[in-house]
Amino acid sequence: MGRAADPSRMSDTCIFCSIVDGEIPARTVYETDDVLAFLDANPLALGHTLVIPKTHAERVGDLDADLSSAVFDAVSEITPEVEAAVDADGANIGINDGEAAGQEVPHVHVHVVPRFDGDGGAPIHAVAGERPDLADEELDAIAADVSAAIDG
Ligand code: AMP
Ligand code: ZN
């Protein structure tokens, strides 16, 4: 098991920081110095697992590059093992980033939701609202805006 996270980078009021601290119990399945994975307490499917950075960060964009890499390394490492453990046929992997996207716990967490042939669920395409019907020029303009924002 890894070391405790740096207390100066934790939140006193965050439930997932409390899990990292050991103040709240969790069904931990994986731990490194930087990352913790535990079963979701209200699972959408058998084996539903949450992967979190041990230090508090609310939104994906708040993660520094090292922590972001550590979280995704953990996701890619454990997803096949979670699937195997519950005999799943696949998994949806996703993050609710912000309240508008359904984020309830304000500490970045990656959902690994095992999927089973014929389970009646939906692909990740089902998460958004009504699809916009965009012309090519509109898509071009959005791509330019996003690219410019990233170049900042
Ligand atoms: P989100 O809507 O993406 O913020 O999802 C939060 C997730 O955290 C939900 O799936 C909850 O079931 C789960 N959750 C909340 N509290 C706990 C807890 N103490 N232990 C494990 N999972 C939790
Ligand atoms: Zn936190």
User: Is any ligand 1 atom within 6 A of the Cβ of residue 58?
Assistant: no
Total count of residues recorded for the chain: 152
109 is an active site residue? yes
Q: How far apart are CA 20 and CA 99, in angstroms?
A: 23
User: Is any ligand 1 atom within 6 A of the Cβ of residue 136?
Assistant: no
User: Is any ligand 1 atom within 6 A of the Cβ of residue 42?
Assistant: yes
Residue with tokens 């590059």: 65
How would residue 46 be classed by pLDDT, with cut points 50, 70 and 90?
Answer: very high
Over the chain, what is the mean pLDDT?
94
Pairing status of strand 28-31 against strand 90-94: unpaired
- 52 CA to centre of ligand 1 in angstroms: 11
How would residue 117 be classed by pLDDT, with cut points 50, 70 and 90?
Answer: very high
pLDDT per position as a tens digit, 69-82? 999 999 999 999 99
